Chains A and B, each alone.
Chain A
Amino acid sequence: MEDYFRELAEQAPRWNFIWMYDERQQGKILSGIWMTINLSIACVIFSVIIGVVGAWMQGAKSAIVRGIVQAYIQFFRNTPPFVQLLFFYFALGQFTPAVVGEDGWTVTPIISNVGWAIIALSFFAGAFNVEIFRAGIEAVPDSTREAAESLGFSRLQTYTEVVLPLAFRVSLPALNNNLVNLVKTTTQALAIAVPELLYQARTIWSDFPSAQYPTMILVWVVYILLVGVLVFGMHRWERAMRIPGYGQ
């Protein structure tokens, strides 16, 4: 197998599948994939939490709280995630404390570039999730809420037992789309040198131009698989959450 790709690289100089036989390059690819997966999972989780909390805050009595959520959504939805990443890392990163290493001269910021990527991308996708969940919450009829109220449910019980479970089901298809976008947007973290898949791929093909085509193809394939797994999982989940006789 390795010999096959080595020979292929010699015969066809544009088709150097270097990571099939060079262990160092292979390690880069694998760690890139691993970083992309971790980045995606962390951002998916945090953005969903931001979405639920934000949608709940949008129903707050205080106009100030609602205003803050609205400003947040407008800011993150209407600016490019690429710019957000740069801003978070280079502007806000200045103000977070750094830890001086034991040797006395290495300075490590407490939030790494990976940390900032997770923060920026979670807030970016979270802004859309707030809107998605809010639409779901609005789809729950007032009369259903009133029925809970007249049975003595508290506001919180009504929210957690009735409104959220119903709103969540309504929101799932839109959430699905947004999370797919989020996974794809993690590639932009290369702007702040997060060693995810695309970043690693680029270092490979700048070192070995002959490996450019194969590496690009690999990046395509990995994303198709990653997003495929996500979509498959979300569809399974949608199906598991389906209520017999409801909403079809």
Chain B
Amino acid sequence: MTATAGWTPDQPIVSLKDVHKSFGELEVLKGVSFDVMKGEVICIIGPSGSGKSTLIRCINALNNIQKGSIKVEGQEVHDPKLDKLELRKKVGMVFQQYNLFPHKTALENVMMAPVLVLKQDKADVEERARKLMAKVRLQGKEDNYPGELSGGQQQRVAIARSLAMNPDVMLFDEVTAALDPETVKEVLVTIKELAQEGMTCILVTHEMGFAREIADHIYFTDRGVIVEHGPPATFFTEAKDPRTKKFLEQIL
């Protein structure tokens, strides 16, 4: 990956400062700031509609912002001169609804971006894609179409598809929310392995037990602001803000 001029790995890999985002009249993010260091895993939790998805979508420029700054490896994401492709190479994203390409097999889904976007050699990509399929424990499912896979399997293909681009940061937006309880675990195991290998991860999740287990830092958002944050050890036991307490009481 090409290093961005001026950025060194001891600086935050993702840095948000006073981010504001509105959809028309509706202000969804009202000044969000946080830093993520390389290799860190952070979890964002909060009630529905508090702007978690919007926040994560702003980080890879699927949404624009009105004010503030988002930097990935020192590069301003919302700089109009930014080459979006450079950003997309660094940041991988996994969606709640998997969003696989239904007309391509699992393996083709994983191979498509490196071949088309990065113009890598097809045979090399295939070899890597097969390894990634094994990594997400989907050996033997390479030639199945998304419609022939379970939700949990599709989501793991989606993770492999993102990893095929060799990103530096992975964004996960409630990736287990559409799954039934038995399959949630298989996806969480995959994410956990990634985190343990040192992948920088930003997760939106409702799985509190999981957040507690893998997060280095937890952020609680409500109505477009970060209400409270801290490492899991203290966050769950020593929440001070009444909104956080209420949320945790409901969910735990």
Judging by beta carbons under 8 Å apart, are B60 and A150 in contact? Answer: yes
A161 contacts B95, C-beta separation under 8 Å: no
Please tell me if the beta carbons of A246 and B89 are within 8 angstroms of each other in the complex: no
Q: Which of B88, B100, B102, B145 is the one whose CB lies under 8 Å from A150?
A: B88
Per-residue CB contact flags for chain B residues 62-101 toward chain A (1 = under 8 Å, else 0) read 1000000000000000000000110011011101010111
> CA A37 – CA B227 in complex, angstroms?
71
Distance in angstroms between the alpha carbons of A154 and B117 in the assembled complex: 8
Cβ–Cβ contact A146 & B147, under 8 A: no
**Chain B nearest CB, measured from A216 CB (Å):** 46
**A147 near B95: Cβ-Cβ < 8 Å:** yes
Q: Does B103 contact A (CB under 8 A)?
A: yes
B112, A143: Cβ atoms closer than 8 Å: no
A152, CB-defined interface residue at 8 Å: yes
Does chain B have a CB within 8 A of A244?
A: yes
B101 touches A162 (CB 8 A): yes
In contact, A151 and B165 (Cβ under 8 angstroms): yes
Contact with A along B107-125 (1 / 0, CB 8 A): 0000011001110000000
- Contact among B62, B112, B148 for A244, CB-based, below 8 A: B148
Known contacts being A162-B101, A169-B103, A246-B102, is A151 close to B148, with CB within 8 Å? no
Nearest A residue to B164, CB-CB: A151
Per-residue 0/1 for B172-185: is the Cβ within 8 Å of any A Cβ (1 yes, 0 no)?
Answer: 00000000000000
User: Closest approach, in angstroms, between the C-beta of A162 and any C-beta of chain B?
Assistant: 6
Give chain B residues whose Cβ lies under 8 Å from the Cβ of A144. Answer: 99, 101-102
Q: Given A152-B88, A153-B113, is A147 in contact with B165 using a C-beta cutoff of 8 Å?
A: no
Task: Assess whether B103 is in contact with A147, with CB atoms less than 8 Å apart.
Answer: no
State whether the Cβ of A2 lies closer than 8 Å to any Cβ in chain B: no
Cβ-based interface call for B162 (8 A): yes
Is A166 part of the contact surface with B, judged by Cβ < 8 Å?
yes
The answer to whether B103 and A151 touch across the interface, beta carbons within 8 angstroms, is no
Question: Would you call B145 and A147 a contact (CB within 8 A)?
Answer: no
* Partner of A153 from B62, B89, B117 at Cβ < 8 Å: B117
Judge whether B146 is part of the interface by a CB distance below 8 angstroms. yes
B161 at the interface (CB under 8 A from A): yes
Q: Does A38 contact B (CB under 8 A)?
A: no
**CB neighbours of B62 from chain A (8 A):** 146, 149-150
A143-B97, A244-B145 given; A151·B88 CB < 8 A: yes
In the complex, what distance in Å separates the CA atom of A151 from the CA atom of B161?
A: 9
Chain B nearest Cβ from A109, distance in angstroms: 45
- CB<8 Å pairs between A and B, sample of 26: A144-B99, A146-B62, A146-B99, A147-B93, A147-B99, A147-B100, A148-B101, A150-B62, A150-B92, A150-B93, A151-B117, A151-B162, A152-B88, A152-B89, A152-B113, A152-B117, A153-B116, A154-B85, A166-B102, A169-B103, A243-B147, A244-B147, A245-B145, A245-B147, A246-B145, A247-B102
Interface on A for B, CB 8 Å cutoff? 141, 143-144, 146-154, 157, 161-162, 165-166, 169, 243-247
Enumerate the 10 nearest inter-chain pairs by beta-carbon distance, A residue then B residue, closest first.
Answer: A245-B147, A147-B99, A152-B88, A151-B113, A246-B147, A245-B148, A152-B117, A150-B93, A246-B102, A244-B145
